[in-house]
Structure 1
C-alpha cells in the first residue's frame, strides 16, 4: 500500500496539481499509512506536516451533522422537528407558494429543496445570501431570512440537491444550545474525541496551511477573494480571510478548520459504533442511505446518508470502495471515506482546490489503497 500511495502523492506534487497533502489510512483499527508531503506554504518553503491545519470547507458538514445526531440521542432534537420552530425567520416557500415544512431530516439529507446560491446577475443585492465560503458580516438571521424570498427547487422530501442545508442546521443547533455553533460542536463531538485542532477558530495559527487553487501549469496561491471553477463550470468564491472575521456567521457547511489526525479520529469513531459521541444505533443509521429512491443526479450509484454519499453500486459509482461505504470531501482540497465492509477509514487532505476534492488525486489515492 505504501508504495502505491507514495507514487500517487509524488506524481501529483511533481505535476503541480497538489501543493501540500496529508494522507492517513486506518484498517481494522490500525494505522496502515500516514504521510505528510509537499508544502503547507510553498512560497516560504514551509513543509506540510501531519499536524498541519487546513480549512475544512464541507468536511465541516459531517461534524455538524454528528452534533445534531448527538442532540437527537440526548432527546433534545427530533429528526421530524420543523426547522422553522427553532428559526422563526426561516420560512422558505414551496414552488406552489405555500410555506414549506422543512424537517431536520430534510436538512441532514439535502432533501429540503434548497440550493447553494443565487445568481448575482439576476438577484438584487438585498436578497443575496452567503453560502459559507465567501466573507460576510451577516449573522444567522440576516443570512438565512433571505432564503424566505426564494422559492424552493421542489417540495421537501422529493428532490436531492446539495445545498446550504447544513448551515441552517448549524443555526438550529446554536439556538437549541443557546451558544455558538463552535461551542456546541466542541461539547458534543470534538472534545469527546480529543479533536483539539478542529473548530471554527485556530488552535495554532502557525500551523495553518496556505490555500492554493487549480491553475496551469501548477496551482497558484489564493488571494483574499479568489474565484475557482468547479467541475460543473460554476465559479466558487473563496475568501480564506473569512476565518479571521469574527462578524461572519459560523458556517455549519464550510466554516471549520482541522487536521487529518482529528478527521480520522472522527471517521473511526463512526465506523466503530459512534462512541463516545453517538449511540450505536445512531452511528449505524448514519452509515445508511437516508433518501430512499430519490436520485442523486450526476452521481450514479450513490445515495446519501446523514454524513455523506453512500455507495450503492460500485460499478455505476466507479469507485474501489465496498457497497455501503460513505464518502464526501471539502472543496478547499479534501476527501474522506469509511468502508465498513473492509474496516477502512481514510482521510485525504490537501491545501489545493479543487483538485484535492474533485480531481483525480483523491480518486487515485483511493484506488492505491485498494490495489495494495
Structure 2
C-alpha cells in the first residue's frame, strides 16, 4: 500500500512503523528521500516533524507542573507579562496554561486564515516559514491579533504551543531545544530528535502535492491546504538548518520514526520515565468535548494531541481514547491504548501523508492485519 502510493505519485517516499504491545511488527521505508538525486528512503531517515513537535513540548510543560514550577491555572501573563491579546471588543481576558495546552486559548494560526486575515496583515509566523523574526517579536505581533473567542470557551488549533514554549524558556532559563532535550529526548535516548540540523546533514527532502507528480518545496513556498482544512501553509525547508530561526514549540523539531515511536510508547505504557501516571492520564483525557471535532466528528482534544471520544461517530476502527495527530510536512500518527497499538507514518509529501487518502488506508490496513 505504501509502495502503491509511491507508484501512483501521491507521495515521494515514506517510513511507517507499527508496534503492538511494545513489539515492532512492521517497519518499512519506501520511495525516495530525495527524488532529484535518487536518494533512497531508509527506515532511519530524519524528517522535519512540524506539529509532531507539540506533544514533545507539552510533555515538558507537564513535567514542570509535576515539579511545582508551573500550574495549569496560572495566567500566561505570570510568565510573559507583555503577552496580552484582546477580544474583538477590546477586553483583555485571562489565558491560562491549560488553555495553551488544550488549544482553548482563543489564539489561531495564519495557515487557517485567508490572506487578508489579521495574522497575515501582522506578519505572524506559524513557525514553518522564514519570517526573519525572533520568537519575542512573533509573540508581540500575535498579541496584537484579536482573539477568536474567550479563552476556555472554544477550541481552535493555534500557535498556543509556541507561546507555551516561551513560558518554558522563561521558567527553565533554557532555550526550548535545551529544555526538550533535558526533559524528553535525553531520558528516552531519542538521539535523532532536535531542532536544528547540522551543516551537511541530510533530511528527507519535502515535496508538496502536485499533478502529475509532487513538487519539490522551495523558499517560503505557499501550499494550499485540502478543502475544509484551512487556507495555506508557508514552508521554508531551509529553516531546519538555520540556528538563528526561533525554535517553534508548535512546529520546529526534527526527528525520525523510531524516536517518535519510542516517545509515544512511553506514554502508552504508563508515562515513565517522563511522566507520573496521573500526569499521563490527564494528558490523555479529553478537555474539550467531541463537538470540537479536532480530527473530524467524534474527536476531542487532550493536552498535546487529539483524543477519540466517539469511535462510532468518527467511523473508525480505533478504540475510544485513541490519541492522534500529525505534521504539515506529511505525517500522521496514532496510539490506541485499548489495542496496545502505536502507528507512526512519516512521509515527505504534504499534505497526502498528513490528511490524504493514505492516512485512512494505512489505518485500515493496520487494523485488518491485527484483527482477532
TM tier, shorter chain?
Answer: over 0.9
The alpha-carbon deviation at position 97 of structure 1 amounts to 1.8
1:370 alignment partner, one of 364, 367, 370: 367
Quote the residue 1:226 is aligned against: 221
TM-score (norm: length of structure 2): 0.94
Query: Deviations for 1:251-309, whole angstroms, at most 9, x for unmatched residues?
Result: 00101100000000001000001111111111122111012466337721111011211
Give the root-mean-square deviation of aligned CA atoms: 1.7
Does the CA-based 8 Å contact 2:290-2:298 persist in structure 1? Answer: no
| Distance (Å, rounded) in 2 between the aligned partners of 1:30 and 1:119 | 44
Deviation at 1:26, TM superposition (A): 0.6
Q: Identify the residue that residue 296 of structure 1 maps to in structure 2.
A: 293
5+ long unaligned stretches in structure 2: none
Tell me the secondary structure at the aligned position of residue 333 of structure 2.
strand
CA contact (8 A) 1:91 1:148 kept: yes
Specify the alignment match of 2:244 in structure 1: 247
Counterpart CA distance in 2 for 1:297 and 1:281 is 24
Shift in Å at residue 125 of structure 1? 7.6
Alignment match, 2:351:
354
Change (3 A) 1:92 1:318: same
SS in structure 2 of the partner of residue 368 of structure 1:
helix
Q: How does 1:31-46 map to 2 (within 5 A)?
A: 31-46=24-39
Residue 312 of structure 1: which of 285, 309, 313 is its match?
Answer: 309
Matched, 1:59 2:56: no
1:192 to 183, 187, 196: 187
Residue 30 (str. 1) matches residue 27 (str. 2): no
Residues 267-278 of structure 1 mapped to structure 2, 5 A cutoff: 267-278=264-275
Q: Give the CA deviation at 1:352.
A: 0.6
Aligned to 1:202: 197
Give 3-state SS (helix, strand or coil) of 1:207's partner.
coil
Q: What are the equivalent positions in structure 2 for 1:1-372 lying under 5 Å apart?
A: 8-117=1-110, 120-121=115-116, 123=118, 127-202=122-197, 205-231=200-226, 232=228, 234-292=231-289, 295-296=292-293, 299-372=296-369
Q: Quick check: 1:91–1:147 contact (8 Å CA) kept in 2?
A: no
**Equivalents in 2 of 1:279, 1:212: separation in Å?**
39
Cα 1:42–1:124 change in 2 (3 A) is: closer
Q: 1:87 to 1:284 in 2, by over 3 A?
A: same
In 2: Cα distance, 1:193 partner to 1:312 partner = 29
In structure 1, runs of 5+ residues without a counterpart are: 1-7
- What is the alpha-carbon distance in structure 2 between the residues aligned to residue 230 and residue 345 of structure 1? 26
Distance 1:43 1:275, change over 3 A: same
Is 212-221 or 232-241 further displaced after alignment? 232-241
- Distance (whole Å) between structure 1 residues aligned to residue 160 and residue 168 of structure 2: 12
Aligned partners of 1:159 and 1:122: how far apart in 2? Answer: 20
